[in-house]
Amino acid sequence: MANPKMVALTIRKSLFVITLAGVLAGGLLPDSAMGQNCGCASDLCCSRWGYCGTSDDYCGTGCQEGPCYAAPPTNDVMVADIVTEDFFNGIISQADSSCVGKSFYTRDAFLEALNSYTSFGRVGTTDDSKREIAAFFAHVTHETGHFCYIEEIDGASKDYCDETSTEYPCAADKGYYGRGPLQLSWNYNYGSAGKNIGFDGLNSPETVANDVVISFKTALWYWMNNCHSIITSGEGFGPTIRAINGALECDGQNPATVQARAQYYTEYCDQFSVSPGDNLTC
């Protein structure tokens, strides 16, 4: 299974030279919600990567502390009414009976994890909510093979240690390969997700493959930090592919996988009786 987070490394390294990667283009309103000081001046935001600034890219999605922008108001959509048992089972039923994920992933675990991410699928109109849910599960379906895989195929043989990450250094003999519904990868993602969710992502990355609620939380954590504002601002499904695995799939790198993701998305939009919109590929 391809590395789903290479684009995150590109984004992170580009920020060292204050070059913005265009995956956080959501138009959040500048309503301030003051946070604690994390080393920035009091009038600056601490971005999700730990850099100080004042633009949307620092104060918007993933902002840790400072005058972060308030999240847009949620609508009255009940995600559980869209992600029904029939919908969830319709995905996982396509996995072979021998798949380890078939006895791991459950709708109940997803809904429990969702309690920590109350803006997911609840921003904008009802149709906007349906499109976000369809997009999330399209990527999950592709990344896990219809919930077949918990861990990346041959992931243990691959090196996902970014040694430049001083905040989240790699632990000895630990692998940060893809795990979970969105195949969380790289030490800085495990470290940051663990800090946010409440598990030791650096020293116990295997937790993502052993605890199904945490597993879904890591997928929702990554989605809310990297894809939520893209899809809710109407940019389309294509840019979410770039945010998840763009370095290996977009710009002609692997058009077949791009089309596969887009096909799942349009299929789920059809099931939800909503138009998929434009800009489906990257």
| Residue numbers annotated as active site | 143
Whether the pLDDT of residue 48 is over 70: the answer is yes
CA angle 7, 11, 14 (to 5 degrees): 135
Q: Return the minimum-mean-pLDDT range out of 54-63, 115-124, 194-203.
A: 54-63
The whole-angstrom separation of Cα 10 and Cα 39 is 24
Q: Any idea where the domains of the chain sit in the sequence?
A: 1-17+71-273, 29-70
Token pair 């009802």 is at which residue? 126
Please report how many Cα atoms fall inside a 13 Å half-sphere around the Cα of residue 15, on the Cβ side.
Answer: 21
Q: Is 273 helix (H, G, I), strand (E, B) or coil?
A: coil
Of all residues in the chain, what percent are helix, strand and coil, respectively (each to 5)? 45, 5, 50
Q: Compute the Cα dihedral for 44, 185, 3, 245 and give only its sign.
A: negative
**1-17+71-273: CATH number:** 1.10.530.10
Which residues sit opposite 179 in a β-bridge? 151, 184
Q: Is the pTM of this model over 0.85?
A: no
What pLDDT sits at residue 13?
33
Q: Model confidence over 227-274: pLDDT tens digits? A: 999 999 999 999 999 999 999 999 999 999 999 999 999 999 999 999
One CATH from 3.40.50.720, 3.40.50.2000, 3.40.50.970, 3.30.60.10 for 29-70: 3.30.60.10
Q: Model confidence over 122-172: pLDDT tens digits? A: 999 999 999 999 999 999 999 999 999 999 999 999 999 999 999 999 999
Average pLDDT on 178-203 reads 97
Confidence of residue 180 (pLDDT cuts 50, 70, 90): very high
Residue 21 carries which DSSP code? P
What pLDDT sits at residue 38?
65
